[in-house]
Amino acid sequence: MGEEALGISRVVIDAQKPREISIVDLAEALAEAPGVSKVDINVTEVDARTETLKIHIEGFEIDVEEVSSILEEHSTVIRSIDAVSAEKRIVEKGNG
């Protein structure tokens, strides 16, 4: 018998980072955040020093604070959070 849990299941973030930071490393770091099961990063703009990104994060009970912290650690600035999905799910007792 499971219990109901409410959490963030999708976040779309508009961000900007220095060109030296690899989006591969960034995606891997974000994928390790609690609650994250999938990360998509698209580079939407490039200039001499920076790249603008659209980051799609999917999972359940995504820790948005942790995501923000990981981005900050990678010198990536959040310009805006463009979309969020919150979801109610039945989760197995004792899972987590």
Partner 1 sequence: MTEEEDFLENIREIIDEFETYIEISGAGEILRRYFVMNAFDGALTMLGFTVGSYISGLRNPQIIVTGGLGASLAMGVSGFVGALLSEKAEREREIRELEKILFTRLKGKGSIVEKANMIAVVLAALTDATAPALAAIISAAPFIYALFYPIDFFVAFAASVALTLLVVFLLGVYLGKISEENPIKYGLAMVLAGILVSMITLLHV
Q: Which residues bind partner 1 (CB under 8 A)?
A: 16, 18, 20-22, 25, 49-50, 72-75, 77
> Among residues 16 and 64, whose Cβ is nearest to partner 1?
16
Q: Which residues contact 11 (CB under 8 A, 6 or more apart)?
A: 55, 56, 57, 62, 64, 67, 81, 83, 84, 85
Q: Name the minimum Å distance from CB 36 to partner 1.
A: 19
Q: Kindly tell me the sign of the dihedral angle through the C-alpha atoms of 69, 42, 37, 20.
A: negative
> Among residues 14 and 61, whose Cβ is nearest to partner 1?
14
> Among residues 20 and 92, whose Cβ is nearest to partner 1?
20
